Amino acid sequence: MAWALRFDGVNDYATLSLAAPQSGYFTAEIVPEFGSLSDGNYKLYVRNDNSGGRPNWYINLTKSSGVTTAVSLFADVTTVNFTPIDVSSAFNIDLTSDSSTREVSLTINGTVAFTNTTVFDGRLSYSSIIAIAGAASRSLPLLLKTYEYGSYTTAGGKVQTAFLDATASSHAAGTPILTDTIGGNNATGVNMPTDGSAWVDLGGGGTTGAITQTAESFTQSASGSVTVIGFTGAITQTAQSFTQSLLGAIGYTGSISQTVQSFTQSAIGTALTAISGEINQTVQSFTQSAIGVTVLNLTGTITQTSSAFTQSAAGLVIVPISGVINQTVSSFTMSAAGRIPVQWVDKLPASTSWTTQTETTTTWTDQAGVSTIWTDKV
């Protein structure tokens, strides 16, 4: 289930508890709400304040005949025009800046608008306010799904400072708070409805059906801080490789079936709870590994009918496995390094020793002077 926070385009904005850095990157996932708006020009803002001061930057948008395109970026005192990019539906932006070279790059929906362009009179400073709407003319009404910013390492890797996630936030009545799943630097909605209607359920997610892949590769990845919950369907893979990795917590109650080739399920630094379904592997190798992880309440059945099966757990270990593990062919290995839920006590060895005894001799001799008279009895 995906959620978003609505900015009404009139007076809404959000304040960050931690100002974003002056160089680095900024990304956002946005669903514009152009529906009732007339054709014309609109703006997507991010700025330092909401009192009429000069905005940090904004993207100029043009709506014409139902199609909306991003056409330019304004920052500080300079505008950079670029080839229009369609943003009529959900879109994401990725803006990066370098404080020393003043070079800025902008990507919208995966399309590079411009890159490494030195255009700014001053550094592109990010914001202590997400004034994506607010006291500005022709602000864009929109739904904000995620808002992320951070810095770059010298090697070019991204280091997240904040990841504001509408889905991970509380959607109850009250002042809307966008939850930062990275550092706890939440953002507070200002001038927004407090009856809970600022939060919009976008649907999707919460997969309850089946995911079926019958050929070639299938990849589902989730990076960042992700919580996968309430997955009750089945995942079936009938060809080639299948890899499922989870960083975060999970409540998985469905079944995982792999009938061909390799199957890998890994969880790093994660608690896997309530796997109550079945894991079936009928061909070739099966590997389930958990590092530094507690796997709880595995109550289903693990069935392996051919080839190798390996289950390993380093660190905390699986408790309690109340289901059945069946292995009918070839090798089966289950290892657990660390503590296990059952104590084993070694007993001293019991032995029986046999030794040769000294020979014993009995000698019978006639006794002298002793006569024995035998008489007949009547």
Partner 1 sequence: MSHTFLSLDMSLIPQSTKDNVPTFWLGLFSNDNSRMLIDGRNSNGDLVHPQAVLSAWLQWCENPTEVQEVLIATAIEYTSEQIKAEQQDVNSIWYIEPEGLT
**Residues 3, 26, 34, 74: which binds partner 1 (CB under 8 A)?**
74
The amino acid occupying position 206 is G
Asked if 193 is part of the footprint of partner 1 (rule: CB under 8 A), the reply reads: yes
Residues 17-36 touching partner 1, rule: CB under 8 A, are 33, 36
**Residues 121, 195, 216, 359: which binds partner 1 (CB under 8 A)?**
195
Asked if 246 is part of the footprint of partner 1 (rule: CB under 8 A), the reply reads: no
Rounded to the nearest 5°, which phi and psi values hold at 58? -155, 160
Strand order in the sheet with 250-252: 228-231, 250-252, 272-273
User: In angstroms, what is the minimal distance from the CB of 58 to partner 1?
Assistant: 7
Asked if 126 is part of the footprint of partner 1 (rule: CB under 8 A), the reply reads: no
Residues 31-60 touching partner 1, rule: CB under 8 A, are 33, 36-37, 41, 43, 50, 52, 54-55, 58, 60
Residues 134-173 touching partner 1, rule: CB under 8 A, are 134-138, 141, 173
Q: Is 129:16 a contact under the CB 8 Å cutoff?
A: yes
Asked if 182 is part of the footprint of partner 1 (rule: CB under 8 A), the reply reads: no
Q: Count residues contacting partner 1 (CB under 8 A)? A: 36
User: In angstroms, what is the minimal distance from the CB of 60 to partner 1?
Assistant: 6
Tell me which residue has tokens 């069946």. 326
Q: In the complex with partner 1, which residue's Cβ is closer, 137 or 356?
A: 137
Complete DSSP assignment for 64-132: ETTEEEEEEEEETTEEEEEEEEE-SS-EEEEEEE-TTT-EEEEEETTEEEEEEEE--SS-----SEE-S
| CA atoms of 104 and 155, how far apart (whole Å) | 17
| CA atoms of 10 and 137, how far apart (whole Å) | 8
Q: What is the DSSP letter of 220?
A: -
Interacting residues toward partner 1 by CB under 8 A: 8-11, 15, 33, 36-37, 41, 43, 50, 52, 54-55, 58, 60, 72, 74, 77-79, 134-138, 141, 173, 175, 190-195, 197
